Structure 1
Amino acid sequence: MTAWRRFRGHPPGLIGLGIVLVFVALAVFAPVLSPYDPNAQDLGSAIQGPSAEHWLGTDQLGRDIATRLMYGGRISLLIGVLAVSIGLAVGVPLGILAGYYGGWADLAISRLADMMFAFTSILLALTLVAVLGVSLQNVIIAVGISVIPVIIRLVRSSVLSIREEPYVEAARMLGAGDLRIITRHVFRNALTPVLVHGTLSIGVSILLAAGLGFLGLGVQSPTAEWGTMLGEGRQFIFSAPHLTTFPGVAIFLAILAFNLLGDGLRDALDPRMRSVDRPAG
């Protein structure tokens, strides 16, 4: 409750949470909010501007853009959440092993992370998609793998400091095994930066997936996805700018929302802030 009270006192974080909830609601209730099929073509209504019938206009195949944005939000948000989940599932255990045990484990895992850092995130994702093939599943895997090295570095640095804390030494002197120390003390205290960075990484993952879609290596048409919509509309950027403007705004708002939400969580969960809230005495 203390963390939630601090989060409520962070207006940008609340704005970010609000935008995320709006995107989630639009994605979940898209069939109720829109009467159109996101993939149904109507060439007679192609490339129309915003109107009462089509709030955000139609694309080059006469498909309703607002509908495709709502359904595309399902794919983009799904990619962001699942990709970060993959990164956390792999990166957190490796980071803990490297930071807690050190030695050869730290050396091997750190060198693996360094090798992955040799590629920029988009280049690594492009390479993996080129190897694995173009599909939604492979896009999620590729984006998730690109998140792993950052998670490893973050968790390792946190664990290196946590393992030297007095409470860890006390637990070790009382006979607690490594597994108990890691699960009860190290992991729980390293969780805050992981949660914050995971939230921020969702926005980065959405951007990476959109970049792949824009280049034609992401989710393939006719499936609605923001990056793919952006790529399809670029040839009409001067004659029908709404085809690229609205998907671009959706991507921008999603990334902004998760960044604001991550900043709010960081301030709410920062252990140094907890000490301020404790009454003196």
Structure 2
Amino acid sequence: MRAWQRFRHHPPALVGLGIIVTFLVLAFAAPLISPYDPNAQDLSVAIQGPSGSHWLGTDQLGRDIATRLMYGTRISLLIGVLAVAIGLVVGVPLGVVAGYYGGWADMAVSRFADMLFAFTSILLALTLVAVLGVSLQNVIIAVGISVIPVIVRLVRSSVLSLREEPFVEAARALGAGDLRIIVRHVFRNALTPVLVHATLSIGVSILLAAGLGFLGLGVQSPTAEWGTMLGEGRQFIFSAPHLTAFPGIAIFLAILAFNLLGDGLRDALDPRMSTTERPAG
């Protein structure tokens, strides 16, 4: 409850949460809000600007941009959430094992993370998509794998500091096994930075998936996805800038929202990191 009270008094985080909720409402209520099919083509109204019948205009195939943005929200958020979930499912256990046991386990996990860190996120995702093939599932896997090394490093560093804490030593002296110590003492106290980073990573994953879509290696048309819409509209950027402006704004708002939410969660869950309590400079 105290964390919620601190979160409520963090205006930027509430703004971020509001934006995310708005996106979710638009995504699930899209069939009720828009009368158009997101993939229906009508060349007679192609590349029209915003109007009463088409709030955000139409694209080069006469498809309603507002409708495609709403349906695209489903895909973009799905990629972001599932990619981070993959990163957590793989990265958290590896980080815990490396940080708690050390030795050869730490060396093996650290070298695995270093291998992934040798590539930038976009290059790693591009390589994986090129190997696996272009599809929604493979985009999620590629983006999820790019999240793993950061999660591993974060969890490992947290566990390294926690395993020497007095409460862990006390539990070990009382005869608690490694699994019990990890689950009840170490991981619970390492959960805050993991949750914060996971929230921030959703925005990064959305951006990465949009980058793949923009390059033509992400979700393929006619499926509506923000990056793919951005890539399709780039050839009309001067004659019909609304084709790229509105998907770009959607991507910007989503990333901003998750960053604001992550910052608010950090301050709410760890009051020592509150912006009001940090030393100047």
Specify the TM-score bucket, using the shorter chain as the normaliser: over 0.9
What does residue range 119-158 of structure 1 map to in structure 2 within 5 Å?
119-158=119-158
* Structure 1 Cα separation of the partners of residues 29 and 147 of structure 2: 30
Displacement, 1:273? 6.6
SS in 1 for 2:87: helix
* Structure 1 Cα separation of the partners of residues 241 and 112 of structure 2: 43
Corresponding position of 1:180: 180
Corresponding position of 2:256: 256
Corresponding position of 1:102: 102
Count of aligned pairs between the two proteins = 275
Corresponding position of 1:69: 69
What does residue range 1-281 of structure 1 map to in structure 2 within 5 Å?
1-270=1-270, 272=272
Counterpart amino acid of residue 14 in structure 2: L
Per-residue CA deviation, residues 118-171 of structure 1 (Å, 9 max, x unaligned), is 000000000000000000000000000000000000000000001011000000
Counterpart amino acid of residue 29 in structure 1: A
TM-score by length of 2: 0.97
* Structure 1 Cα separation of the partners of residues 153 and 271 of structure 2: 20
Confirm or deny: 8 A CA contact 2:266 2:273 kept in the other structure.
Answer: no
Per-residue CA deviation, residues 206-243 of structure 1 (Å, 9 max, x unaligned), is 00000000000000000000000000000000000000
Counterpart amino acid of residue 236 in structure 1: F
* Structure 2 Cα separation of the partners of residues 204 and 261 of structure 1: 13
Per-residue CA deviation, residues 35-65 of structure 1 (Å, 9 max, x unaligned), is 0000000000000000000000000000000
Consecutive aligned runs of 4 or more in structure 1 exceeding 6 Å deviation: none
* Seq. identity, %: 87
Q: Gaps (5+ residues) in structure 1?
A: 275-281
Displacement, 1:272? 3.2
Per-residue CA deviation, residues 7-59 of structure 1 (Å, 9 max, x unaligned), is 01111000000000000110011000100000000000000000000000000
CA-based RMSD: 1.1
Per-residue CA deviation, residues 91-124 of structure 1 (Å, 9 max, x unaligned), is 0000000000000000000010001000000000
* Structure 2 Cα separation of the partners of residues 243 and 272 of structure 1: 44
SS in 1 for 2:100: helix
Q: Gaps (5+ residues) in structure 2?
A: 275-281
SS in 2 for 1:29: helix
* Structure 2 Cα separation of the partners of residues 97 and 62 of structure 1: 53
